[in-house]
Amino acid sequence: MIRPTTPNDTDALVALTEATEHFKPLEIVALREVLDDYHAANHADGHFALTLEEAGVILGFVYYAPAEMTERTWQLWWIAVRKDQQGRGAGTRLLHHVESDIRDRHRGRVLFIETGSLPLYDLTRAFYLKNDYEQHALLKDFYAAGDSMVVFRKGF
């Protein structure tokens, strides 16, 4: 079941994300801040945090929002799936839910997703390509020397 994320989910989502070993320590700190801000105010500004849960076990989550000062442009900020559940369809389920929500309920026209260029993110980039995203841009050395930002895009 995909459901709204609650404040009580924060610790579990931060731990799940850290356990994937795909995020830097500063990103883990930032995730807690993002979730705290979401529950304090950002949910009222059209941000969405959703949790995928099966039989009482959290399998993953997603966070997305409209891009400020744009016309129906959206950004996927976070998507994470428990390490032992990766490659089993949970990420695809979350991503398709986001796309449907943006396209059908919010009349969004485009979704952008950013990730890194390091080999650690090879499977992440393949996941987006498999889900019909185009690699739209590469911002060289964005995160650090040798770690570029890869921007994916899907229009609706």
Tens of pLDDT, residues 24-35: 999 999 999 999
CATH architecture observed for domain 2-155: 3-Layer(aba) Sandwich (3.40)
| pTM metric for this prediction | 0.94
Domain spans of the chain, in order of start: 2-155
CA atoms of 16 and 143, how far apart (whole Å): 23
Asked if 52 contacts 90 with a C-beta cutoff of 8 angstroms, the reply is yes
**pLDDT at residue number 4:** 98
- Band (pLDDT 50/70/90 cuts) for residue 22 is very high
CA atoms of 49 and 65, how far apart (whole Å): 9
CA atoms of 96 and 98, how far apart (whole Å): 5
